[in-house]
Structure 1
């Protein structure tokens, strides 16, 4: 396992703290213009599902991809990262429901429907999804309307029918009929990879970069998204619930196909190394500015929780 540089660890920690603070601000009890009230119990359920630690990897990728283009984009990138984390947390709250993956533990604590109830968990997820797009559109996000529209469009497509939500539908179907290799790749690219791809491309959108640059960061996002899922499948096979902060071994128990189950642990570890190399090659045109994102690819591939 490759150790991370002190600078990378510092950036990961400071970004996570900044995102946590931004999320806490978005989820305060303060009633915004256009709102009528913020129900106390609903807000508590949302905060339970969001303000519970975590690496905040997706916002980190937004912030660091935007940093390729200069420090001026940092405030907007933080808000877009927080919006993306709202979508991610909504998906976790809903995926944990009995009708979906039926999980009782998330990040080492009871899931929202266990700590509150199923109705609260559904409404918490609904609220987080809408809050994400509100955050992008809000005047506090210092971007042009054109750039905001691009971000809304890209995130909606990454999160919706043809992205994360569609991937969850395929994942549920996989419990009844295990997909072939191509089906597994499609499922994982949608359920897990789409939001990670958006996170990396978002930096280029925020900076209004040209089409080729945007495509390069999108491809980097696809590459590290695949690495994330491969590492996750390995951890599901080898890690314990205490380390992961959630149940492990569930994919195998439900008969769901994964690339690790299909091709083996040795293949997966070799493929992770190849994906890190591909990610580094994609970032080469950015030179030294991409050092943190290169390390991010290694971090994703070698993570242990």
Structure 2
């Protein structure tokens, strides 16, 4: 099923439903319907949805962008079964097969970067190049934390909101407008993104992202299984790794402090690192400036 959606983006946007284990993923598609058009697969972060890529899509006319709501998020929050990086990677493989996407560029932001690494390992013939955006390599987290403590240490208020209830979209937007990561870049595209995140819950609304799935995925990407370590050890695809100086609360340092980052790059010399100053963990893709720069970066990848 394909339906037209309205939104703040300026490039044609539609969604499709793709069968996966336990249900169906909602997949956003921007750009030409022609399957031979240049195509990039985009994977969002741990509590996001496919609309996290709208700013990028606005600057990539003529390119087909394929971006699912991962299981447990957005309109895919009803998919049954366990999550984890391997499950998301297999879901992505099902999306690519269903849409007839040729092997190509895969971009992952935050948790989506870990999914991209797992996809390249589990389904190497579906990927030609990887772009990992502020994620995909091990995070600098303390050892010995419980699952709940790990989520709190990494996500903080981003995870806490998943248990909150809101009267409606306006109250939810009011919750987000003063957020330190977004208050300087707030626009209609972000409003559409956050409004999409809400789902009815009795006489109120809640964020669509499953808290349980968020915990499961956060533990998994931080060594809860061998999926990510094995995938990184076997990484053979050309890979770019973009980091930014500020984190989820616009704080310094970001997710990859300098000393930690230096050790990671030494351990993975095949990965090409890029530092993008002027962005935080969110605005690197979820702002007009971030979307524009990401689009420029992807045009370079497509030219290769």
Using the size of structure 1 for normalisation, the TM-score is 0.30
Question: Higher helix fraction: Structure 1 or Structure 2?
Answer: 1
Question: Higher strand fraction: Structure 1 or Structure 2?
Answer: 2
Of structures 1 and 2, the larger Rg is shown by: 1
